[in-house]
């Protein structure tokens, strides 16, 4: 049984005063963002382990507003991705990228070709080597402070991609693992602030990855639960072909 303070209000007050009195770490005292990002590579498996991987299939579920759907995500180097979520009684939602065209298609919203900043973010997320080769993706990375994420002290980094808006990422000071990602997401409905927390790290093969991702955006909470990750499984090239509805949109735009 946990012991409780006899004077909990005094303990809280003391902690608050200590936080106020303690000096914030100076920029010169913070490790460089480059060092933190490289440590994250090692903490999750190491560069050599990542370089052995050429495809990835993850299966699990996504829940939103009490509705849960089965999810399958396919990825292949260098930048191909296809995700399908099947919601019982509602329909199927898909999105993907063939490395050039990023798109989405759902029973609720229909087919959509991503453009501008929405496309930039989708192509960035489709990069298969983004963890290891982050230097080829970001034009600037910097450590801006230390903040707590679910009780863990984390280094706060701001990463500016070569294309798209900056994003904020939080890395656990002790383990080096990514704990949270905050960004502004461009969508067909406008810009949306998104905050994702990464939990339940488990090892699949040589790679340590989060198996629960909780995202808060647009007043909704999305929870992705990963059941299994399979590396280097054979994925038919046709899996990343553009759906007919997307091809029709592209053809229409050319007219």
How many Cα atoms sit within 13 Å of 50 on the Cβ side? 21
Q: Which of the four pLDDT bands, split at 50, 70 and 90, describes residue 29?
A: confident
Q: Is residue 6 part of a domain?
A: no
pLDDT of 140 > 50? The answer is yes
What pLDDT does 254 receive?
A: 77
Residue with token string 């396919």? 74
Residue with token string 């699949």? 204
Q: Which of 171, 166, 174, 170 is nearest to 141 (CA)?
A: 166
CA angle, residues 232, 236, 240, in degrees to nearest 5: 100
> What is the distance between the alpha carbons of residues 167 and 206, in angstroms, rounded to a whole number?
27
What pLDDT does 109 receive?
A: 87
The span from the first CA to the last CA of the chain, in angstroms, equals 71
* Distance from chain centroid for Cα 75: 14
What pLDDT does 26 receive?
A: 52
Q: Which residue has the higher pLDDT, 163 or 23?
A: 163
What pLDDT does 25 receive?
A: 53
Q: Is residue 94 part of a domain?
A: yes
Q: Are residues 212 and 200 in contact, defined by beta-carbon separation less than 8 angstroms?
A: yes
E strand or H helix that includes residue 124: helix 116-126
Q: How many domains does the chain have?
A: 1
> What is the distance between the alpha carbons of residues 119 and 130, in angstroms, rounded to a whole number?
16
Q: Which residues constitute the domain of residue 208?
A: 36-254
Q: Which of 77, 83, 102, 54 is nearest to 242 (CA)?
A: 102
Q: Is residue 16 part of a domain?
A: no
- Mean pLDDT over 44-62 rounds to 97
What pLDDT does 89 receive?
A: 84
Q: Which of the four pLDDT bands, split at 50, 70 and 90, describes residue 246?
A: very high
Q: Which of the four pLDDT bands, split at 50, 70 and 90, describes residue 66?
A: confident
Q: Which of the four pLDDT bands, split at 50, 70 and 90, describes residue 255?
A: low
Domain CATH code at residue 238: 2.50.20.10
Q: Is residue 107 part of a domain?
A: yes
State the CB neighbour count (10 A cutoff) for residue 95: 18
What pLDDT does 12 receive?
A: 40
Give the model confidence (pLDDT) of 80-133 as tens digits: 999 999 998 889 999 999 999 999 999 888 999 999 999 999 999 999 999 999
What pLDDT does 56 receive?
A: 98
Q: Could you say which DSSP state residue 100 is in?
A: S
pLDDT of 28 > 60? The answer is no
What pLDDT does 238 receive?
A: 96
* Strands 67-76 vs 190-204: parallel, antiparallel or unpaired: unpaired
The token duo for 93 is 């939602």
Q: Which of the four pLDDT bands, split at 50, 70 and 90, describes residue 53?
A: very high
- Mean pLDDT over 50-59 rounds to 98
Give the model confidence (pLDDT) of 192-233 as tens digits: 999 999 999 999 999 999 999 999 998 999 999 999 999 999
Give the model confidence (pLDDT) of 149-187 as tens digits: 999 999 999 999 999 899 999 999 999 999 999 999 877
What pLDDT does 15 receive?
A: 34
Q: Is residue 8 part of a domain?
A: no
CA distances from 24 to 21, 37, 146, 147, 149 (A): 9, 22, 8, 10, 17
Residue with token string 């980094």? 157
CA angle, residues 225, 43, 23, in degrees to nearest 5: 100
Q: Is residue 118 part of a domain?
A: yes
Q: Is residue 211 part of a domain?
A: yes
Q: Is residue 88 part of a domain?
A: yes
- Residue ranges of E strands in 88-177: 91-97, 102-106, 110-113, 138-149, 152-161, 167-172
The token duo for 184 is 């502004």
């Amino acid at each position: 049984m946990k012991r409780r303070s006899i004077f909990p209000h005094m303990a809280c007050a003391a902690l608050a005063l200590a936080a106020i009195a303690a000096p914030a770490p100076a920029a010169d005292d913070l490790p460089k963002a480059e060092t933190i990002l490289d440590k994250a590579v090692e903490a999750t498996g190491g560069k050599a382990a990542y370089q052995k991987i050429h495809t990835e299939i993850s299966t699990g579920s996504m829940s939103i507003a009490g509705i849960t759907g089965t999810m399958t995500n396919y990825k292949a180097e260098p930048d191909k991705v296809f995700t399908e979520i099947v919601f019982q009684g509602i329909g199927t939602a898909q999105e993907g990228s063939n490395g050039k065209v990023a798109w989405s298609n759902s029973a609720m919203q229909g087919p959509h070709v991503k453009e501008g900043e929405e496309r930039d973010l989708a192509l960035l997320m489709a990069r298969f080597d983004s963890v290891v080769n982050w230097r080829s993706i970001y034009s600037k990375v910097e450590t801006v402070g230390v903040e707590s994420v679910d009780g863990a002290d984390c280094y706060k980094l701001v990463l500016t991609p070569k294309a798209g808006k900056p994003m904020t990422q939080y890395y656990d000071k002790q383990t080096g693992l990514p704990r949270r990602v905050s960004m502004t997401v461009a969508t067909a409905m406008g810009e949306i602030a998104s905050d994702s927390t990464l939990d339940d790290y488990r090892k699949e093969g040589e790679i340590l990855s989060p198996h629960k991702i909780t995202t808060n955006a647009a007043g909704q909470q999305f929870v992705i639960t990963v059941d299994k990750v399979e590396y280097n499984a054979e994925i038919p090239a046709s899996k990343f072909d553009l759906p007919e509805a997307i091809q029709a949109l592209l053809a229409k735009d050319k007219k």
